[in-house]
Structure 1
Amino acid sequence: MKTTNNEIKIIQILLASNDYISTYEIATLIGISRRSVREEINNVKNILKELEIHFTSKPNKGYIIDEKTPEIINKLQEIINKNENDDAYALVPNIPHDRVNYILKLLAQSDKYIKMDDIADDLLVSRATIANDLINVKKELSRYNIHIIHKPNYGIKLNINELERRRIIADLVFASMTQREVFYDFLDTYLDTSDREIIEIIKNNNLYISDLSLADILINYSISIARNMAGHPLDTVFEDFEIFKNTKEYHTVLDLSRVAKEHFDVDFNDSEKSFLTLMLICKGSTHDKIYQEDQITSKLTHTILDDIYSSTLIYIDNRYYDRLSLYIQTALLRQKYQEKIRNPLYDQIQDDMPFAYYLTKIVNKRIKEYTDTPLSRSEITSFTIFFNNIITDHTDHRKKVLLINCMGNFASNYNTNMLEKDLSNDLIIQKCISYPELLKEDLSNYDLIISNAPIHKNYDIPVINTNYIITMDDIIFIKSKLTYYFNEENLVYYFHPELFEHSVSAKTKKGISTVLYQTLCKIYPLMKSSVKANFTNKNKYSLHSFNNSIGLLKLNTPINSNTNNIILTFKEPVNYDDQEFQVLIVFSSYDQNNIMYDTLYNTLKKISEDNTLIESLIKCESYTEFLSILINNK
């Protein structure tokens, strides 16, 4: 029974999995497309059927081998072992994806013409098959702005320089290691052999590099050595390189050059050293770097921050300015020298971090205007994660607390320790007093009171009551109350600019649900239409109308893990479940203790008491105009 490498890999994955495994997971592990997985799965199914092994596939769940008895495991292991022993067959790429990569690597490594018939003979396929594969090869090369040269009776080749060849080869090698085990096997070959010296050099020069970037650097270093040994040194001149000769990355490369000479008898020329230095700088972490201000980056950063504020009302303060500037500066450097970082999370960020992704699109637009080059997918991913950290970590400065204790010194010390241990980033305890002393205290020195004695009197600052001995439930409650009382900018994170629609003409419940679904699809293009049931089935939501003008529809179960609060304003008042309104906000968020919902509810209630504000809200044509009214009446 003949099997392909990918079929064997799928069988290994199914054998190792105790639960359903999806097409996406298999594709990620093997490093092929999901369509290729579906093609291979059909073959695997037939293989298992011949062996009388029951195989189940379920939509939205994936695939599983139902029963893994010792007999079944032995049968499958025999196939795996046989495949591993059949090296000659295993080395021949036999699916389109693998053949395309094989041809790409062949063209990148050779500066001579290659006949299509020779490629067909090597791959054991017809010339027509290779002609079809070349269509996809050309698509891949278009990412590098490279074209294939055809010469009758000679064949095909790439008219590119040595640096371009290496970039293609490095991308192909890295892509082949997307399977996690293979990726770390590659690192292990350096960690477990004399080549560990290379990693030690990087470490000893205090370079902060992620595992992904380290693998990328080692691949490029290996390619540099191999190409030099084959007589293909770099001859590229890198503009303005002199400014990098005092960096620790350059000194690291001098050490790596010594290793190349000692181990492989390869002398790196100045071009090689420049290339490796720039690679270390561009692929290294920004964790230990300090932003060195320059006019271009500074101007670009200010423009981007202005754009973010004008489109979202989010003010990114000085705590994040230098870090954002450093990200922009490094992105510009990578574009200048055509270096790249590799981040595999791009396909996830759009769904998992939609608001941060929206902010990144603003960055991408401005950088593209300046350089004529958009950010790469990996660069977009890094910026999105950066903005997402700002969104999730956004807090005000620590609040000054007056702690009221009615239980003696033990309780006072215990409660103080609990608060300082679990809420050190949120508050600082200025003073601890007993309840009778509260009357004499100047409360202008504090932001809030936390008390284990019941306080029902109204004061000019918020009061948070706790148990006599503070528990984790109290900590969670205090934290949510801090958000409610003090994070005045919070409303800007409640909504998404693309989830705002004004002057909607829909009038019926069905029509409105369709508009809501279409609005969500602007962020989630693959969202299923079944989500509309969340807006039409009364068991799935609660609806409140304020003064027959503003509707607040709260979903019992959020659409997904993100905050997806939708704003619609209508041309005319609409009737929804016998309630009337001309503005609708759909609340879809995991909202612990209802802090976000209560804030929004009270804000809308306040606005609904003023007909002028209602009219202004209805007439809003822009997201920021609408949001400003909410913020001003929070």
Structure 2
Amino acid sequence: MLASYLKDLLMCLEDGKYKTAKELAERLKISEKTVRTRLKELQFILQKYGTVIESKPRFGFKLIITDIEKYNELERMESEFNEKTKIPNTAEERKNYLLAYLLNHNGFIRLEELCDFLYVSKSTITAVLKQVELVLEQYRIHVERRPNYGIRIIGNEMDIRRCLGELFIKRNLLVGLNEEYKEKELKKLADIISQYVKEFNVNFVETAFENFITNVYIARGRIAHKKNVNLEKSDIHNLNENEWAFVIKLAERLEREYDIKYRDSEEAYIALHLAGRRMVGSGEHDEVNFVIRSEIDQLVIKMLDKVFLDFGLDFRNSFDLRMSLNQHIVPLDIRLRYELPIENTLLIEIKDNYKFAYLVAEIASTVLEDYYKKKLSEDEIGFIALLFALALEKHNAAIDKYNILIVCSSGKGSSRLLKYKYRQEFQDYLDQIYVCDLREVETFDFSKVNYVFTTIAIMHHIPVPIIEVGLFLTEKDMLNVKKVLGRKKTDFLEQYYSENAFFERLEGTTKEEVLMNICNKIIKDKNVPMDFYQLVAAREELGTTDFGNRIAMPHPLKTVTNESYVYVAILNQPIPWGKSDVQVVFMTVIGNQPDLNLPKFYEFTIELIQNKEAIQTLIESRNFETLMSLFQEQSV
């Protein structure tokens, strides 16, 4: 469509009269040289629509329409475009418009022309350009300024495409800029790619497939503008012959479809995104030649060591988790090395429902960040969190089932029938089910069960909770039973938290002073080395342990004791810690003895410290009973 400055020039000529360059310059408030330049540009466009600009010495320039139908078509298209396209009128809209223009424009453009595009002053466009430069710098792209030529962007082609992909995929900043055309082309590409995905049996998860289409779309546009990447096919590993055939066939089809040439480097670019987006572990179609390099496996081992060091969770012998991480990191390695963004559509759900697994993934990911010298996005950490969540679920599944006693007054037959019904309905919750009548209750060993379910009243003392149910297990009974069995038991927390290790008003105005005071109390109470404070301080140097919500969870650099426990201290006032202020400190000491409850301990503790209302209640009450009751409340 016509740029705004060309529309203004066309309007000056539409009366069919001759206009000199001087007259046009005065009317448009530009130089005569600029008038002549724009007339040539307008002439080039109008000739496609049955119109020419006639030049006559001493008279000037005149618009001559030779094909009124074609000219009317131009006007119709311009009218439709104007209706769909909103001229940006806020700073944010102008920034996004200018970003899109510069990223897709070949060559230089003068600031005066940009002013005409956006209908703003030069001072405004200069301010907008500064904001654009801040965005581009994040992708190592710079704005080049050249006198008498204007500005243009310069940068590595991979970075430019990454920038386009990030803005296009993640932020969708290019909305409104020929959106209809974009959606039509994406649909066309999706149909083409889907055809070859089926033909060559290539595996994608849904979001990865969408991202792959988008990057092919971006690459196609750049190739059409003679902008190619610098890649070698030998740089791409772990694609089998079938997948390479997919890449080559797709490139050939796109060449025919769009009349462009895919060099080997551009085929490598497609292969790169295939390797970075592919779905590993899909089952029968997995590649027999999927190679996990020794460097990847060593990274995974270090990640599991890091988790053990920071949390005391020993997944180092979990073959399933180790292999899952290895398979995930193979395509992640490509994404990190080539900075390929990926979207995790489950990120919010992962952070809400797997808080502890996400925290573990954050800590484990520091190993990758140190190795690649790059920060992992929350999307990538979320994918890793899912793998740890599965490992934690498997761990918990082995210890979370309950043993129950069913007491029934109707004899052994009805008791066994009830046992069968409970086993059938609540198999996910139950391990051992015992049955007895009212007489046998007095001699039963209640250390073997967690709950008693009874169809009759039990008058004497029972040391475990009693739940009264009907003989026929009605729908109401089933809901009550599931509510009870679905609770998380909190008794185990007493092995970590004690009133003697709770300090309602700990002195200290700096992080160092607070840590020293807590460490001195631990040294006095527990069998820990005298350099315990130095170990805690050394861990703080590796990364701050504040979690937000006025909470810090410091711990020593290494295991120094057999038992696991927490010292909780509430400070008089919030103090600076690292990223945020802290008023409640959970000094966590994890022992070297095997502890099946450790994952549950972390899940409960992380859930509590991220609950703003609960922490505010704890700060206001400043007593141990409140802490334990808060744990109990969140367990239901």
Normalised TM-score (structure 1): 0.56
Change (3 A) 1:351 1:194: closer
Say which SS state the counterpart of residue 144 (structure 1) adopts: coil
Q: CA deviation at 1:356?
A: 4.5
Q: How does 1:269-418 map to 2 (within 5 A)?
A: 269-286=263-280, 288=282, 293-316=292-315, 318=318, 320-343=321-344, 355-384=356-385, 387=388, 395-397=396-398, 399=401, 404=406, 406=408, 412=416, 416-417=420-421
How far apart, in 2, do the equivalents of 1:194 and 1:373 lie?
32
Say which SS state the counterpart of residue 397 (structure 2) adopts: coil
Q: CA deviation at 1:136?
A: 1.3
1:132-175 C-alpha deviation (Å, 9 max, x unpaired): 11211111112112222222222222222333332222233325
Q: How does 1:183-222 map to 2 (within 5 A)?
A: 196-202=191-197, 205=200, 207=202, 209-222=204-217
Letter in 2 for 1:256: L
> Are the equivalent residues in 2 in contact too, given 1:402–1:450 (CA < 8 A)?
yes
Q: CA deviation at 1:417?
A: 4.6
- 1:109 paired residue among 93, 101, 104: 104
1:1-42 C-alpha deviation (Å, 9 max, x unpaired): xxxxxxxxxxxxxxxxxxxxxxxxxxxxxxxxxxxxxxxxxx
How far apart, in 1, do the equivalents of 2:117 and 2:351 lie?
41
> Are the equivalent residues in 2 in contact too, given 1:559–1:588 (CA < 8 A)?
no
- 1:155 paired residue among 150, 154, 166: 150
> Are the equivalent residues in 2 in contact too, given 1:420–1:428 (CA < 8 A)?
no
Change (3 A) 1:238 1:258: closer
Q: Which runs of no fewer than 5 residues in structure 2 stay unpaired? A: 1-77, 515-543, 552-569, 574-606
How far apart, in 1, do the equivalents of 2:303 and 2:123 lie?
50
Match of 1:427 in 2: 430
How far apart, in 2, do the equivalents of 1:158 and 1:90 lie?
25
1:168 maps onto 2:163 in alignment: yes
How far apart, in 1, do the equivalents of 2:203 and 2:196 lie?
12
Q: CA deviation at 1:375?
A: 0.8
- 2:126 paired residue among 131, 144, 148: 131
How far apart, in 2, do the equivalents of 1:222 and 1:266 lie?
13
Change (3 A) 1:399 1:131: same
1:38-88 C-alpha deviation (Å, 9 max, x unpaired): xxxxxxxxxxxxxxxxxxxxxxxxxxxxxxxxxxxxxxxxxxxxx996726
1:157-214 C-alpha deviation (Å, 9 max, x unpaired): 22223333322222333256489999x9999858976952423433565555454433
Q: CA deviation at 1:314?
A: 3.9
Letter in 2 for 1:280: L
> Are the equivalent residues in 2 in contact too, given 1:308–1:359 (CA < 8 A)?
yes
Say which SS state the counterpart of residue 152 (structure 2) adopts: strand
Match of 2:507 in 1: 505
1:594-613 C-alpha deviation (Å, 9 max, x unpaired): 758xxxxxxxxxxxxxxxxx
How far apart, in 1, do the equivalents of 2:201 and 2:447 lie?
45
1:523 maps onto 2:551 in alignment: no
Is the radius of gyration larger for structure 1 or structure 2? 2
Say which SS state the counterpart of residue 548 (structure 2) adopts: coil
Q: CA deviation at 1:222?
A: 1.9
Q: How does 1:551-570 map to 2 (within 5 A)?
A: 562=611
> Are the equivalent residues in 1 in contact too, given 2:189–2:217 (CA < 8 A)?
no
> Are the equivalent residues in 2 in contact too, given 1:411–1:469 (CA < 8 A)?
no
How far apart, in 1, do the equivalents of 2:616 and 2:394 lie?
25
1:278-308 C-alpha deviation (Å, 9 max, x unpaired): 2123234456278965433333333333333
Q: Percent identity?
A: 19
How far apart, in 1, do the equivalents of 2:110 and 2:453 lie?
83
Q: CA deviation at 1:341?
A: 0.5
> Are the equivalent residues in 2 in contact too, given 1:352–1:562 (CA < 8 A)?
no
Match of 1:553 in 2: none
Change (3 A) 1:346 1:484: closer
How far apart, in 1, do the equivalents of 2:372 and 2:302 lie?
15
How far apart, in 1, do the equivalents of 2:493 and 2:364 lie?
22
- 1:259 paired residue among 253, 259, 277: 253
1:484 maps onto 2:489 in alignment: yes
How far apart, in 2, do the equivalents of 1:95 and 1:170 lie?
24
Q: How does 1:410-489 map to 2 (within 5 A)?
A: 412=416, 416-417=420-421, 419-421=423-425, 423-428=426-431, 435=437, 452=454, 467-470=470-473, 471-480=477-486, 483-484=488-489
Q: Which runs of no fewer than 5 residues in structure 1 stay unpaired? A: 1-82, 513-518, 527-531, 536-557, 571-575, 597-634
Q: How does 1:87-106 map to 2 (within 5 A)?
A: 87=82, 90-106=85-101
> Are the equivalent residues in 1 in contact too, given 2:139–2:160 (CA < 8 A)?
no
Which moved further from structure 2: 343-352 or 194-203? Answer: 343-352
Q: CA deviation at 1:525?
A: 8.1
Change (3 A) 1:214 1:329: closer
Say which SS state the counterpart of residue 259 (structure 1) adopts: helix
- 2:236 paired residue among 225, 237, 241: 241
Letter in 1 for 2:548: I
How far apart, in 1, do the equivalents of 2:259 and 2:349 lie?
44
How far apart, in 2, do the equivalents of 1:428 and 1:185 lie?
59
Say which SS state the counterpart of residue 153 (structure 1) adopts: coil
Say which SS state the counterpart of residue 343 (structure 1) adopts: coil
Say which SS state the counterpart of residue 484 (structure 1) adopts: coil
Say which SS state the counterpart of residue 375 (structure 1) adopts: coil
Aligned length: 454
Change (3 A) 1:196 1:283: same
Q: CA deviation at 1:124?
A: 1.7
How far apart, in 1, do the equivalents of 2:222 and 2:198 lie?
25
1:320-344 C-alpha deviation (Å, 9 max, x unpaired): 4433444444433311122120236
Which moved further from structure 2: 249-258 or 342-351? Answer: 342-351
